[in-house]
Amino acid sequence: MIHIDFNLKPDDLKKKLELFWELSGEKIKRIDKKYDASKGSPVFTVNGEYSTRGWTEWTQGFQYGSSILQFDATGDSYFLESGKKATLEKMAPHISHTGVHDHGFNNLSTYGNLLRLMHEGKIQFNEWEKNFYELAIKISGAVQASRWTKIKGGGFIYSFNGPHSLFVDTIRSCRILMTSHLLGHVFQGEGDVKISLLERAIQHISATADYSVFYGEGRDSYDVWGRTAHESVFNVNDGNFRCPNSQQGYTGFSTWTRGLAWAMAGFSEELELLQKLQQNELNDLGDKTELEIMMLKAARATCDFYIQNTPVDGIPYWDTGAPNLHRLGDYLDRPSDPYNAWEPVDSSAAAIGAQGLLRLGKYLSEKGKTKAGEKYWQAGLTVLNSLFDYPYLSTDPSHQGLILHSIYHQPNGWDNVPAGQKIACGESSMWGDYHAREVALYLQRIINNEQYYTFFGCVK
């Protein structure tokens, strides 16, 4: 399990953050100059060069969002202009993309961050530009909400696999429904029926908590506190849950750690938003206290599982049930080894999960649960202290990736196995690099006493 460093302070990471942003800027500029955009969105690196991988278009917003975060962190106008220009020219198809469950990734990373910076006064206010960003978010939220499957007691945003499929990672797309709702958007269906975006977001969060997260309550033989299933499968004829499954993890009965990390971050940030909502806004969606209990239980369970099932340095292997982990011996009692001969680590899960740990820790501390809050907060710092250092931070100027040892799809064998290695390692992913930047910005703002960074900061 993670050896939580309770003496670590945010200021202790300042030097690492300075190097991180220096390297980050160099990587972004290298991609801007070298990557052939005609090949499609950059997804992951192969021998240090970003390449595409056709599956769904879910990473382009991370590419341009990275430039926007870089500007936010450093004030370098090159990155603002680059991010704005690319958002205007390239991101429109993502707003109306009806075939993916990733709107909360692509469009809040770009339009949302630009709108947030305008509200914060970091970029010049322009009424028409503001309206443009708001319209993009409004429509994106409605398009995402249209991917809807009804189940008993609610519903969920279905994955690209089809109406039967609930993905654990889609909880982070609830962000786009929430911000669209907060911006006052009205989503209309057949016969001009008005559909509440807030209601759909809450129902999806509830379905994820009920079916994607396990709580050690006897649900099945593999029911462990905080374990997650990547996919939950439903019978669309009667709305009944049928079984857990996995697309990118090992099985439906093991835990794909990036899916776990999406849940950690998703539940924690939705808890933060819930504090801003009044009971009368929720109407018939449920008692606010009960919704908080549901989200907090899921957030704590997933964060606890991550802490318990990750090596001492905070960087997890790609799946906690990966078939060859036993060959590594007591792998949880020593630092992760990305160059081992048996199973890959996934640094992108660490980048995502660290943010969930930090947000949950801060949330609990502000609620007066100081001891519990300290555990998660310090665990988050411990993860980042490892992630922003060797062998995970990429210091090679010829490598386009920022965070090394990310895994995309181990079961499909998509990830590059470098010459001389037995497993995929040494490569980066666009989502891993973006979320490393996002959590680095989050921490930097804490250190500098700047405005607290949230996804709903784009709503004034």
pLDDT, tens only, 226-254: 999 999 999 999 999 999 999 999 999 99
Tell me, yes or no, if the pTM score tops 0.85.
yes
Residue 53 pLDDT grade (very low, low, confident, very high; cuts 50, 70, 90): confident
Residue 82 pLDDT grade (very low, low, confident, very high; cuts 50, 70, 90): very high
> If you search the block for the tokens 């504090």, which residue do you land on?
275
Q: How far apart are CA 112 and CA 315, in angstroms?
A: 29
Helix (H) or strand (E) holding 249: none
pLDDT, tens only, 178-193: 999 999 999 999 999 9
Omega into 10 within 30° of 0, i.e. cis? no
Kindly tell me if the per-residue pLDDT of 284 is higher than 90.
Answer: no
Kindly tell me if the per-residue pLDDT of 199 is higher than 90.
Answer: yes
List of residues 6+ apart from 249 with CB closer than 8 A: 230, 255, 256, 259, 318, 319, 321, 411
Backbone angles phi, psi at 348, to 5 degrees: -65, -35
**Residue 429 carries which side chain, given as an amino acid letter?**
S
* Mean pLDDT on 22-30: 98
Domains with residue ranges and CATH for the chain: 10-458 (1.50.10.10)
Contact 403, 436 (CB under 8 A): yes
Q: How far apart are CA 450 and CA 431, in angstroms?
A: 25
Residue 57, both tokens: 């278009």
Tally of helices (H runs) and strands (E runs) in the chain: 15, 9
pLDDT, tens only, 141-152: 999 999 999 999
CA 418 to chain centre: 27
pLDDT of residue 37: 86
Contact 61, 109 (CB under 8 A): yes
pLDDT of residue 241: 97
pLDDT of residue 283: 80
Residue 387 pLDDT grade (very low, low, confident, very high; cuts 50, 70, 90): very high
Per residue, the 3-state secondary structure of 117-158, as one string, reads HHHCCCCCCCHHHHHHHHHHHHHHHHHHHCCEEEECCEEEEC
pLDDT of residue 455: 97
Tally of CA atoms within 13 A in the half-sphere of 74 that contains its CB = 22
DSSP state of 277: S
Kindly tell me if the per-residue pLDDT of 213 is higher than 90.
Answer: yes
